[in-house]
């Protein structure tokens, strides 16, 4: 055990002391394993250093409950927060209506109106990433009928928030927001009957649906406005770290980091949202599925960051297994 400055602390090390947020709402207990999300949080807290065990250990997905040590004291001023979330929901609905029009134009003209999309990101989505109420209102129940557009907007917000929480720069956060917004735009090539089917897709239908990643890439690549990192994030957002994803069965580091973030945002929102063939589940249930049924498929640092922040605002409860010193 030794004291290291924050710049010397690396992922895989183990905290040997308790660290508390400035507002007292979050605690990292003794025994917490350091990851990128935790380092970003300590940097935000202006922590200069900490006592750590320097021997790095592998960040194991199956042990994710054991490596996240978060104490949540709950939200304060709940009536005021409720009002803020309602306001955010109204703004969200207006943006969703604009996005629906953009998707419709893409469907009927076979081209993405990128100037309109970029304006939407710049003026109405990206600026709201500084407001926590925009994240909380994503968890309000919505009708399944407009799932395609609602989901695209939700993923844009979730991916943008994850970028901020992970400590990414403004450029990457902007790219994540745009990639989230257009990650499923290739589904405009799929007929409405299949998209709105009341049951799960059969094998033939699923084979068609899986083409949406390539179709999204092709539609966006036709324009001169979309960067390579966004194109790759869109193309790869259904790839899995264990090679079980599509379209190219990429593995591990073959998958770009932005695509891994979009993947976590995409799956989480799909689980909590109402769809034609199932009702959305709670954030707690969604996280349990992602942790215990999708082992080795998702980026553990990204998922850990989502879990930490959901716990911080009181949406889920995480067992505190390494806080014996608290």
The pLDDT tens digits of the residues spanning 216-258 come to: 999 999 988 899 999 999 999 999 999 999 999 999 999 999 9
Measure the CA angle with vertex 128, ends 122 and 132; round to 5°: 160
Please state, in angstroms and as integers, the Cα–Cα distance from residue 213 to each residue in 216, 280, 319, following that order. Answer: 5, 23, 36
Q: What is the model's pTM?
A: 0.75
Q: Is 187 a catalytic residue?
A: yes
Query: Could you tell me the two tokens for 188?
Result: 């405009």
Q: Average of pLDDT values for 84-93?
A: 76
Chain region(s) in the chain for CATH 3.90.105.10: 1-58
Is CATH 1.10.3210.10 the classification given to domain 132-325? Answer: yes
Q: Average of pLDDT values for 26-44?
A: 69
Query: Could you tell me the two tokens for 189?
Result: 């090539």
pLDDT on residue 114: 93
Torsion of CA 4, 1, 60, 68, to 10 degrees: -70
pLDDT on residue 4: 87
The catalytic residue among 66, 187, 232, 240 is 187
Chain region(s) in the chain for CATH 1.10.3210.10: 132-325
What number does CATH give the domain 1-58?
3.90.105.10
């Amino acid at each position: 055990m030794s004291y290291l400055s924050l710049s010397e602390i690396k992922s895989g090390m183990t905290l040997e002391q308790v660290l508390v947020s400035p507002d007292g709402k979050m605690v990292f207990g003794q025994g917490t394993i350091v990851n990128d999300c935790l380092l970003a949080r300590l940097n935000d807290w202006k922590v200069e250093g900490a006592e750590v065990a320097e021997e790095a250990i592998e960040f194991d997905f199956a042990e994710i409950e054991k490596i996240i040590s978060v104490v949540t004291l709950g939200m304060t001023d709940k009536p005021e927060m409720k009002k803020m979330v309602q306001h955010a929901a109204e703004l969200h609905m207006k943006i969703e209506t604009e996005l629906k029009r953009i998707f419709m134009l893409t469907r009927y003209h076979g081209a993405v109106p990128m100037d309109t999309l970029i304006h939407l990101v710049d003026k109405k989505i990206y600026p709201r990433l500084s407001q926590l109420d925009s994240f909380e209102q994503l968890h309000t129940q919505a009708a399944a009928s407009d799932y395609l557009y609602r989901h695209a907007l939700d993923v844009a917000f979730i991916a943008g928030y994850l970028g901020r929480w992970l400590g990414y720069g403004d450029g990457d956060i902007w790219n994540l927001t745009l990639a989230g917004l257009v990650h499923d735009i290739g589904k405009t090539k799929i007929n409405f009957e299949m998209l709105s089917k009341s049951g799960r897709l059969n094998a033939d239908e699923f084979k068609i649906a899986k083409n949406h990643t390539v179709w999204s890439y092709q539609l966006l690549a036709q324009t001169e406005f979309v960067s390579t990192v966004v194109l790759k994030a869109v193309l790869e957002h259904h790839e899995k770290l264990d090679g079980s994803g599509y379209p190219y069965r990429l593995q591990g580091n073959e998958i770009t980091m932005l695509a891994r973030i979009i993947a976590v945002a995409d799956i989480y929102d799909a689980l909590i949202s109402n769809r034609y063939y199932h009702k959305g589940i709670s954030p707690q249930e969604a996280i349990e599925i992602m942790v215990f049924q999708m082992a080795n498929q998702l980026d553990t640092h990204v998922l850990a960051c989502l879990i930490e922040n959901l716990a911080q605002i009181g949406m889920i409860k995480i067992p505190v297994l390494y806080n014996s010193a608290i």
